[in-house]
Amino acid sequence: MFRLYKRDENDAIVAYHEAWVDYGTNRLVEHWGKLGTRGEAITRRIKILKSLESQFADVLDPAYARGYVRLEDWEQYTLTIEYDTGSLDDPEGLEDLLVDWLGWTGLGFCHPPEQTDLGILVDCLVVDIELAKQVITETLATTVFNTYSRMYQE
């Protein structure tokens, strides 16, 4: 996956543009939008006689030309969601939900839940802490995963 971001005049990240290969359908997926929204996506057939690298370039070069850039690791933040021991029946379902929502809104991704002495912790790597908190809170509110005890930035 290649994910690019656009900044505004105040250096805040405002948009994303990404591409990845869906090996199940053998297609190249292009997805873009305003940060925190589901955006738009199109798929393209992968051309067998053309290198995958050049196909990614065909998709992402126009975004680079419009000022989109890749972020460095230090430009992303860890947001942790904590659940008390015994309050979470399906950690894998939570991971799937968060990966889906954070990915499709351009905000980031999450690591698998980890059982610790504190309970179950889910670390999410995000590009905008406040927007990620808002999206996660709204996403979890109507699910069985709304029982987290706290959400905080590490």
Residues 113-124, buried b or exposed e (16+ Cβ, 10 A)? beeeeebbebbb
Among 74, 126, 76, which Cα is nearest to 105's? 126
| Matching residue, tokens 């995000």 | 126
pLDDT per position in the chain (154 positions), as tens? 999 999 999 999 999 999 999 999 999 999 999 999 999 999 999 999 999 999 999 999 999 999 999 999 899 999 999 999 777 778 888 999 999 999 999 999 999 999 888 789 999 999 999 999 999 999 999 999 999 999 999 8
What single-letter DSSP state applies at residue 69?
B
* Percent of the chain's residues with pLDDT above 70: 100
What single-letter DSSP state applies at residue 89?
S
Q: How many CA atoms lie within 13 A of 132 on its CB side?
A: 27
8 Å CB contact between 40 and 31: yes
Distance CA 130, CA 103 (A): 16
How high is the mean pLDDT of the chain? 94
- Domains by residue range for the chain, with CATH: 2-65 (2.20.140), 76-153 (3.30.70)
The helix/strand/coil state of 38 is coil
pLDDT tens for residues 36-46? 999 999 999 99
The helix/strand/coil state of 64 is helix
Among 134, 115, 112, 136, which Cα is nearest to 123's? 112
Distance CA 141, CA 43 (A): 31
